[in-house]
Chain A
């Protein structure tokens, strides 16, 4: 190729590239403006002491991160979020998978079930929290239990099981975790059901010809084929559960002592109760890094399990 031909080809290539770049520019600009800039701004604020108004932010270096390392309430809030996540990963996802398997078969009213199972996720978290708060209410009026659960337990001859689940430190967090699972299992159900429908039925027929039973079909066909979808559901469950807080506010207001604190409620508390914006930002950055590290790890695991 002559020099001039090469130069002309390079010029066309550059023109094409710049044209392509122009098309992605709006997305890049939005990403930089609304994601990257705020992240660096929050990181910068985490290095400052500031009440949000006046005096201007004062540089304190990594003091907030050092203080955070010794903040027992913060680390217990992380543990609470992990606890909710573990319950969601097991109870919520197993329920979602079981229901998805049931609805993938030729059963009566399967479209009705699909709609019913997807109702909780589309409800607002505040509404769900308030409904469950009413169901679990431990108050009494005219000798009758106000809450649906306690009323049911009492009237079915199980008065010894009547309890104040949301004000008992032994049960409050687990109760909220179960409500969170009830609210969230519909997402997993829909994604898993969509995944199940992509599995070629010939694989099942071939397995049955080879003498595989229902359990072996599940173990050797369904689960391996579903692994990428399961990992997506797992990542979404982790990210959603670690950041739970609206349910907390709706069900236990600003918390039962420190037993229902999660990272987001601690960040809110630092920002609104103590007006410590810098410390709240340090919490946010630490929590964000924690979640990013977790997502990257899960992505790597997901890549390993992806069928080749």
Chain B
């Protein structure tokens, strides 16, 4: 009997010992991230940092980004976040992380030595991690993260395909784009490809045109519920997609395409235009180093108002406010965002560096992305953001316009109804 009991206890011990936390190297600063394309470069930088300072840095990669995002949310509950990590979500969620006490306020560090650290960055890059006075999330004002690169989302054109169709220059207005698409269609060339199977990419393209058609203030007023989605300007935004669809300007299957397949299509010369972010320079280089392409802003519909594009901080790191190694973590991030390391990262990963002094020897396409950083905006810096359920109806409505299922005014009415419902829904939260 005793032997059997002993056996069962052994079994229990073996079973539950697997649940124990892994032994960690207490002397290492641990960094969690999701950036598969940058992992090797990060590890090389970690080795350099250890050689220079003696501090060991351990980068831990968790991909894909969805899984990473869920992991960090679970880690907040379990209180097992590492010394440095990225928050891959909306600003509302970043605010929730801050409120739960796991994000250090780095304002003092940025402002020290006459703002030496703050001055290194593009202001737009810091804005994504900044909470201003009286912000909508009730977070104490300050800077809560360190951008390591910047990004923006624009259109790209395949020079060879435009030449083949006899199009001398990239379109400068939305009407030009429609005309170019018609010519391309005659030559059997697909027009615009993008990952519009991913809701945020449609939302991004639509909000570019919303800003262009009606201006930022009116867009924000709509989000606040002061202007209905049935306003003629919003119908013009929805009409952009109808016109693109009717002109045959959109690649087949665009509404169910994930961005990685859209990137593949453009890299392999299957479409003349793409709508994609600056990270694409690295992606296209890996897929087809001979691809000859240029970068352009989405051609405006309203020529009197400049086009605004989504952009700003690409990836950011945050310091765990509960980490015993906070000082070492901040020191490492200062080193990582210094010019030398930022140039190295830009060269290795072909992403735009967050440090504005590191914009040296960039590939031409990346330089073109960098040149328009002043035109960027992003939901993370807006005073108000749309309710996610309204955004869902908005994006699905645009998909239904593209496939010819609904008209712009029908979608506008549908989105307005969803907005009305969400505005009048009682909130259980204080």
Give me the interface of A with B, judged by CB distance under 8 Å.
15, 19, 22-23, 25-26, 29-30, 49, 51-55, 58, 60, 63, 133, 137-143, 146, 164, 166-169, 172, 251-258, 269, 272-275
Find out whether the CB atom of A254 lies under 8 angstroms from the CB atom of B198. yes
Q: Within 8 Å of chain A (Cβ to Cβ): is B228? A: no
Residues of chain B contacted by A253 (CB below 8 angstroms)? 195, 197-198, 256-258
Most A C-beta atoms less than 10 A away, residue of B70, B188, B197: B197
**A257/B251 in contact, CB under 8 A:** no
Instruction: Determine which of A55, A143, A274 lies in contact with B188 in the assembled complex, contact meaning CB atoms within 8 Å.
Output: A143
Interface SS of chain B: helix
Q: Is the CB of B255 within 8 A of A256?
A: yes
Q: Is B99 an interface residue (CB 8 A)?
A: yes
Residues from chain B with Cβ under 8 Å of A25 in the complex: 8, 12
Instruction: List, in ascending order, chain A residues with CB within 8 A of B11's CB.
Output: 26
User: Closest residue to A130 on the B side, CB-wise?
Assistant: B261
30 A-B contacts (beta carbon < 8 Å): A22-B4, A26-B8, A26-B12, A51-B93, A53-B96, A53-B99, A54-B97, A60-B428, A137-B253, A140-B188, A141-B269, A142-B188, A146-B270, A169-B403, A172-B256, A251-B256, A252-B197, A252-B256, A253-B197, A254-B198, A255-B256, A255-B396, A256-B403, A257-B255, A257-B399, A257-B403, A257-B405, A258-B396, A272-B70, A273-B388
Question: A30 to chain B: which residues have CB within 8 Å?
Answer: 15
Which B residues fall within an 8 A CB radius of A? Answer: 1, 4-5, 8, 11-12, 15, 66, 69-70, 73, 76-77, 89-90, 92-93, 96-97, 99-100, 188, 190, 195, 197-199, 251-258, 261, 265, 268-271, 388-389, 392, 396, 399-400, 403, 405, 428-429
Q: Between A and B, how many residue pairs show CB distances below 8 Å?
A: 119
Residue of A nearest to B12 (CB): A26
Query: Are the C-beta atoms of B392 and A140 separated by less than 8 Å?
Result: no
Complexed CA–CA distance, A272 and B64 (Å): 14
* Shortest beta-carbon distance from A182 to chain B in Å: 19
Complexed CA–CA distance, A164 and B5 (Å) = 64
> In whole Å, how far is A236's beta carbon from the nearest beta carbon of chain B?
27
Beta-carbon contact of B73 and A256 below 8 Å: no
B97 cross-chain contacts in A, Cβ below 8 A:
53-54
A49 CB, nearest partner CB in chain B, Å: 5
Are B256's CB and A166's CB within 8 A? yes
Q: A51-B93, A51-B96, A274-B388 are in contact. Are A139 and B428 (CB under 8 A)?
A: no
Report whether B15 and A26 are in contact in the complex, using a CB–CB cutoff of 8 Å.
Answer: yes
Decide if A257 touches B392 in the complex (CB within 8 Å): no
Please indicate the chain B residues that have their CB under 8 angstroms from the CB of A15 in the complex: 1
Find A22's partner among B8, B92, B428 (CB 8 Å cutoff).
Answer: B8
Are B256 and A167 touching (Cβ within 8 A)? yes
* Other-chain residue from B90, B252, B399, B403 in contact with A140 (beta carbon distance below 8 A): B252
Q: Which residue of A lies closest to B188 (CB)?
A: A143
**B196 nearest CB across to chain A (Å):** 9
- Contact partner of A53 (CB less than 8 A), chosen from B100, B265, B405, B429, is B100
Shortest CB-to-CB span from B428 to chain A, Å, is: 5
Q: Are A58 and B429 in contact (CB under 8 A)?
A: yes
**CA of A251 to CA of B257 in the docked complex: distance in angstroms?**
8
Q: Hey, which chain A residues are within 8 Å of B268, CB to CB?
A: 141
With most chain A CB atoms within 10 A of its CB, the pick from B4, B92, B99, B255 is B255
Min C-beta distance of B311 to chain A, whole Å: 22
Q: Is the CB of A139 within 8 A of B252?
A: yes
Report B197 CB to chain A, min CB distance, Å. 3
Give the nearest-CB partner of B258 in chain A.
A253
Q: A19-B4, A49-B428, A52-B73 are in contact. Are A164 and B388 (CB under 8 A)?
A: no
Contact yes or no, A256 B256, CB < 8 A: yes
Distance in angstroms between the alpha carbons of A251 and B256 in the assembled complex? 8
Which B residues are CB-close (under 8 A) to A164? 252-253
The answer on a CB contact under 8 Å between A273 and B199 is yes
| CB-based contact B1/A19 at 8 Å | yes
User: Which residues of B have CB within 8 Å of A137?
Assistant: 253
Given contacts A164-B253, A253-B256, A254-B197, contact A275 B92 (CB under 8 A): yes
CB of A128, distance to nearest CB on chain B (Å): 16
Known: A22-B5, A22-B8, A273-B388. A139 touches B429 (CB 8 A): no
- B90 — which chain A residues lie within 8 A by C-beta? 275
Given the complex of chains A and B, what is the CA–CA distance between A96 and B201 in angstroms? Answer: 41
Residues on B with C-beta less than 8 A from A172 are 256
14 additional A-B pairs beyond A58-B429, A255-B396, beta carbons within 8 Å, are A22-B4, A23-B8, A29-B12, A49-B429, A53-B77, A58-B428, A139-B251, A146-B270, A164-B253, A166-B253, A252-B197, A254-B197, A257-B255, A257-B405
6 nearest interchain CB pairs? A253-B197, A53-B96, A138-B252, A54-B100, A252-B256, A274-B388
